[in-house]
Amino acid sequence: MYLCGQKYYLKSKIKVAAVSYLNTKPLLYGIERSDIINDMELLVNYPSELAKSLKEGSIDMALLPVAAIPSIPGAHIVSDYGIASDGNVASVAIFSQVPMEQITSVYLDYQSRSSVRLAQLLMEKHWKKEVTYKPATEHYIEYINADSAGVIIGDRALKQLNNFEYTYDLATGWKDHTGLDFVFAAWVANKPIPEDFLKQFNAANALGLTHIDEVVAENPFPYYDLKTYYTQNIKYYLDDQKIKGMNKFLELIKE
């Protein structure tokens, strides 16, 4: 609260948005249990909607799909943490009932721009496949059969791991194709954010990663072992190798 003359003004809270997928739970665990939560308003939405909100100015920061970064003027990464992988990520894949060489069409999950762009890139450059892309409807998973395939992400992907004959993990495909790690999302802002807030926010992200057992206990999920997911599949710290992989991806999709 600030004093100006005889009037009091409340400090405006920083609006921060993320997705509600299981992969964000360790980060959100720390944020929600740190004092930083008192200085922010935490919102959740589909990853594909976060770029729109950031661009419109209805939020200040977002756990943004990296493919959306070039479309937002002034966008810059503001934390050492995000959602990444150095191989099998488990929750972002192309699912099919037939092998890759028989796939002729691919449904594109409407929830994430980065995963869709990665799938298209790998189909062209890694698997060297020309396919028809179809916009996914809400129940598109039911239509993945015969020679059609589909990009499925997040919790829904983890639920489908045993329901299809073939699963082509996109982070593994990226690693095989480039030898690099992959960053799916990073904390991004397109306006100045106070340095003291960002320092506390970074620490809050780190805090959550020291409580993985508690996060697993809070989120019962019978389809996949979340301890494995949080400690082996997802990499949360964006080290130099992650940033290198991210920059390579942004370079390729720009082409």
Most confident listed range (48-52, 55-59, 111-115, 240-244): 240-244
Distance CA 118, CA 182 (A): 10
| Per-residue pLDDT tens over the stretch 176-223 | 999 999 999 999 999 999 999 999 999 999 999 999 999 999 999 999
Distance CA 148, CA 132 (A): 9
- Residue 11 pLDDT: 55
- Residue 8 pLDDT: 32
Strand partners, 127: none
Q: Which amino acid is at 252?
A: L
pTM for this prediction: 0.92
Mean pLDDT check: name the lowest of 5-14, 40-49, 152-161: 5-14
Q: At what angle do helices 113-125 and 170-178 cross, to 10 degrees?
A: 50
- pLDDT-based confidence at residue 248 (cuts at 50, 70, 90): very high
| Per-residue pLDDT at 4 exceeds 70 | no
Q: Which of 104, 19, 94 is nearest to 62 (CA)?
A: 19
All structural domains of the chain: 2-85+181-240 (3.40.190.10), 92-178 (3.40.190.10)
| Per-residue pLDDT tens over the stretch 67-101 | 999 999 999 999 999 999 999 999 999 999 999 99
- Residue 3 pLDDT: 35
Distance CA 243, CA 6 (A): 49
Q: Which amino acid is at 44?
A: V
| Per-residue pLDDT tens over the stretch 40-66 | 999 988 777 898 999 999 999 999 999
